Amino acid sequence: MKGMPGSRRGTDAPADGRERPVRAVFLVGFMGAGKTSVGRVLARHLGWRFEDLDDRIQAREGQTVPEIFQKSGEAGFREAEREALVELLRQRKNGSPLVAALGGGAYVQEEIAALLADSGATTVFLDASPNELWQRCSSDVLPRPLRRGESEFRQLYEVRRPRYLQAHIRVETGGKAVTDIVREIVSLLKLEIPGEEK
């Protein structure tokens, strides 16, 4: 059952029907969902590499995300986003374990979703209520190009949510500590934390 906690939708499943261990986790969800915060802690717990796709985009382009939006528009940013993801996926061809956080609009792009599906990566939708997401974003120091008025924010969330629900699993983040969210992801994906007994 797609998009439901505990569902795996055949993630990384080889031809013999046995599940391969998860080696790449991509966190998706709306702005304010905690993808970067959760991703950093999850990667640290697992001893895996962490990558924030927006950071990679900014390094490649030599501009901040708001600057890219301002100079190239959303279409220009989405192209830079796609190129950065292609580069990231190519670099992990050797199967090195990775936790990555995607920007809020990445997974709703058909091409991005297809690239992730083809790569065999596991996608995790971090969700929360629009109220909580709005409150979290309201306290941000850095500007978010697509965060406008509250009604537009809620509308964009509702438009994007069906796509997010196509991720392999959904984890509710509302009112939870980052460490609790990480433990839930580890449990649902049957991941192994180095040094912990099975």
Identify the CATH number of the domain in which residue 178 sits: 3.40.50.300
Its sign, for the CA torsion 164, 170, 175, 178, is negative
Residue 113 lies in a domain: yes
- Residue 73: pLDDT band (50, 70, 90) is confident
Quick check: is 54 in a domain? yes
Task: Give me the sign of the Cα torsion angle 26, 31, 178, 54.
Answer: positive
**156 within 8 A of 68, measured Cβ to Cβ:** no
Residue at 90 is within a domain: yes
For residue 161, is pLDDT > 90?
yes
Range of the domain at 93: 24-188
Separation CA 118–CA 6 (nearest Å): 21
Alpha-carbon span 143 to 113, nearest angstrom: 25
* Number of structural domains found in the chain: 1
State how far the Cα of 113 lies from the Cα of 138, in Å rounded to an integer: 28
Task: Give pLDDT, residue 145.
Answer: 47
Q: Is the pLDDT confidence value at 158 over 90?
A: yes
The token pair that represents 25 in the structure block:
């986790």
- Tell me the C-alpha distance between 131 and 137, whole Å: 10
Residue 4 falls inside a structural domain: no
Residue 8 belongs to some domain of the structure: no
Mean pLDDT of 63-74: 87
In a domain, 18, yes or no: no
Phi, psi for residue 149 in degrees, rounded to 5: -75, 165
In a domain, 195, yes or no: no
Q: Is residue 17 part of a domain?
A: no
The answer on pLDDT for 19 being more than 80 is no
- pLDDT at position 148, please? 62
Tokens representing 21 are 């261990």
CA Rg value for the chain: 16
CA distance 77 to 23: 28
Q: Which pLDDT belongs to residue 15?
A: 42
pLDDT at position 3 is: 44
At 28 the pLDDT is: 97
Contact 143, 66 (CB under 8 A): yes
State pTM to two decimals.
Answer: 0.84
H or E stretch including 172? strand 169-172
Reported confidence tier of residue 131, pLDDT bands at 50, 70, 90 = confident
pLDDT band at 102 (very low <50, low <70, confident <90, very high): very high
